Amino acid sequence: MKTSKLLILSVAFVFMFVGSALALPFNDRPITFGPGTAGELSLQEVMDVLTPTAGEIDAYLDQHEAGLWTKKTDTDVDAYSVTMLGPWNGAFGVYSPTNGKEFDLLEVTAPDPHANGGLGTPSEYSNNFIIKDGGYFQYDWDPNDPGVAGFASFGFYFKRYEMSNGETVFEKDADGNLLEDAEGNWIPVVKSTFYTEDDKNSSSGYTDDHTARALAYLLETGQEIDLGAFLSDEFLFTADGDNDWLLAFEAGSDGDYQDAIFAIEDMHPVPEPATMVLLGLGLIGLGTFGRKKGLFTKK
């Protein structure tokens, strides 16, 4: 009886993940790039500028399936602006797949053709956040702050702001007065939000084959990324521990995925469906082996 129950549960476990794989927060990769825009760098060319040697990161073959992540044990998670090549102001942030809570981490501005070599400049170059035990989010560690629940796993987004004449449009009340948030800042009008989970995006902007708006790249230990290659802040980012990433967003409709790129430290991907299926098959094998050997027979 025990063996039968184990086999039934194992089979159910496998089919649960196989049957719902399309609904799970894992992305089908690699995806094919769009046509891009004449005169702009491709994502591969951007990667070649960021790394010491061309080809160290293959923009197509090295695409990772991850759409959600978890924190590395006992550490905060650091985020850095890498490039902003799309013509929009916006914000990079983290969200909870459990309750939908979102927190902006970095604000970035559109490229200015008359400044910084025509490259985008972030309002903030880096920021970090804390995931406390139990999946509670905090911007900064505070033992007296319980944090915001729902972040045992998390994804990332890029918000594209509404623009007019090269400037961000801000929310107004019925009388035309600018609205402010709790900290007294004007509130940008968000035109679109693009997520690292494909299923949360309505389209890719350039093809009906998928809804990918972000490409993830896992950096090998020792991989160097020159954060000063596109931004005025000189900083060399060196990956460590096989848990550092690049996230490249498509915020337009040309499919080049170089509109906004960010580096993230110290996080692990949520296990992909194939891993869960293998675990279930392992349970089935264990149950079958145990039954043959009489391991589950009552003495």
Report pTM.
0.83
CA distances from 38 to 34, 41, 183 (A): 12, 8, 41
Q: Is the pLDDT of residue 177 over 60?
A: yes
Task: Please report, in angstroms and rounded to a whole number, the separation of the first and last CA atoms in the chain.
Answer: 14
DSSP label of 283: H
With bands split at pLDDT 50, 70 and 90, how would you rate the model's confidence at 26?
confident
Q: Is the pLDDT of residue 190 over 90?
A: yes
Q: Is the pLDDT of residue 57 over 80?
A: yes
For the record, the structure tokens of 144 come out as 């007296």
Q: Which residues of 229-266 are buried (b: 16+ CB within 10 A; e: fewer)?
A: bbbeeeeebebeeebbbbbbbbbbebbbbbbbbbbbbb
The three-state secondary structure class of 291 is: helix
Residue percentage of the chain with pLDDT more than 70:
76
**Cα–Cα nearest to 220, from 233, 239, 205, 234:** 239
pLDDT tens digits along 242-285: 899 999 999 999 999 999 999 999 999 998 544 444 444 555 55
